Amino acid sequence: MSTDIRHLEPQPIWKNFSDLNAVPRPSKKEERVIQFIKDFGTRLGLETFEDDIRNVIIRKPATPGMENRKTIVLQSHLDMVHQKNNDTIFDFDQEGIKMFIDGDWVRAKGTTLGADNGIGVATIMAILESKDIPHPAIDALFTIDEETGMTGALGLKGGILRGEILLNLDTENDHEIDIGCAGGIDVTASGKYREDTVPAGSIGYTLSVRGLNGGHSGMDIHKGLGNANKIMNRLLYACGQKYGLRIGDLSGGSLRNAIPRESVARVIVGNGLDTAFEKHIQEQAKFIKSELKTMEPGMEIELKKSELPAQVMEFEAQEKIIRSIYTAHNGVYRMSADIKDLVETSNNVAKVAVGKGEIMIACLTRSSVESSKMDLADALRSAF
C-alpha cells in the first residue's frame, strides 16, 4: 500500500480508509474488521458495543451548544465485495487491499478496492475522532454482511439506536442525498447433466474472456458494460452447431452483485476442424470488440490449444444450457416512467459454473417495484 494515499485530502478520511483497507473484510468473514472498529471506538473513549447480530455501534455525545439537536445515526457497512482477476494471487481472508495512486484515481492491484463502503466507514471514523466539527449526538452504526444478504441491517433490533434521522453513507456521488428503495431477489438455476467421453481425434482449447471493467450490479448496470458470462455464451452459441464443439467445463464470474469481468471455458472441437474453428472465433471476437470498444477497450478474447478435458457435456444438455443463458435477460429491464434516469428493474447474470455433471447459474435481479422484480424473476425462471 502506498503511504502517499494517507496524505491525500481530506487526510482524516484517507488515513482511516488506508487503515481500514489493511484489515481483511470479505462478506461473512468480518471478525477482524469488527474488532478493528471496536478498538477504534475504545481508543477514542467512546461508548462502543456489538449488538446480537455483530453490528458495531459507537456513540459520540453532542458538541457544546448542540445538545438539544436530534441525534443522528450515521451508517455504513463493514464488508466489501471480494473479487480478483484470475491471474491475481490474493487471499482476501488474510491480506489487506494493495492500493496505489493512478493519476486522479486510487486503485487496487488486481482486486476490488473496497471503497464500497470503505469510504463511508472512513468518513464516519473521521467524524468520530474529530475535535473541530460541531455535531449533535451521533450513533455510528457499522453493519455487517451488506453485500451478500443485508444480514446486519435485517438483524438490527428496535430500541438500540437513539437517533431519529439516519444518514446512510453508501452513495456514489458527492453533494447528493438519495432517498429511495430497491429490492433484490436471487434467481439461481441449478441442474445435473450426463458426461460423455471425449471423441477420438478431438482437439482441446481454452477460451478466455477477460479484461472487462466489471462493476456493481446495482450502480453500474445501466452503463452498457460487457458481461463476461454473456460474451462467452455468445461465442459458444456461434460455434455450437459447428466444428463438433463440446464443453468440458466453464467458469465465469464470482459474486452475485458484481458484473462478471472474466470467463474461462475448456472446449473440444472435431478432428481437422481446428483451423476453421480458430478463424470463426477470431471473427466473432472482432465483432464483439467493435460493439464494446467504447465501454470495454481492455477486453481480451483469447483462444489457446490445451490438453483435452477428461469428459465433456452431453450434447443435448449443452444445447439447452447455451440457449437458456442466451435467452436470460441481462442488464436494464425497465427504466422508471416516473423518475428520470432511474433504472427501475434490472438483472445481472453474475455467475456461471459448469463441470463434473453440475450446472449452476446465479443471477441477481433488482427493482424498486416489487411486481416488476417478480415479473423479471419469472422471465428468468421460464428461460431456465
Q: What is the pLDDT of residue 175?
A: 77
**92-129 in b/e burial notation, b at 16+ Cβ within 10 A?**
beeebbbbeeeeeebebeebbbbbbbbbbbbbbbbbbb
Query: Cα–Cα distance between 363 and 383 in angstroms, integer?
Result: 12
Residues of the chain with CATH 3.40.630.10: 3-179
CA distances from 295 to 64, 167, 363 (A): 51, 33, 22
The span from the CA of 128 to the CA of 39, in Å, is 13
Radius of gyration of the CA atoms of the chain, in A: 24
State the pLDDT at residue 2: 46
CATH 3.40.50.880 fits 185-383, yes or no: no
The parts of the chain modelled with pLDDT lower than 50 are 1-2
pLDDT of residue 219: 86
Under 8 Å CB-to-CB from 21, ≥6 apart: which residues?
1, 96, 97, 99, 113, 114, 118
In the sheet that 72-77 helps form, which strands lie side by side, from edge to edge? 47-50, 56-60, 138-143, 72-77, 165-168
Instruction: Compute the residue count for the chain.
Output: 384
Domain 3-179 coded CATH 3.40.630.10: yes
Residue 1: per-residue pLDDT: 45
CATH 3.30.70.360 residue ranges in the chain?
185-383
Catalytic residue among 79, 116, 147, 249: 79
Question: Structure pTM?
Answer: 0.69
Catalytic residue from among 30, 139, 145, 146: 146
CA–CA separation, 101 and 1 (whole Å): 10
Question: How far from 128 is each of 7, 136, 141, CA to CA, in Å?
Answer: 19, 12, 12
> Is residue 146 annotated as part of the catalytic site, yes or no?
yes
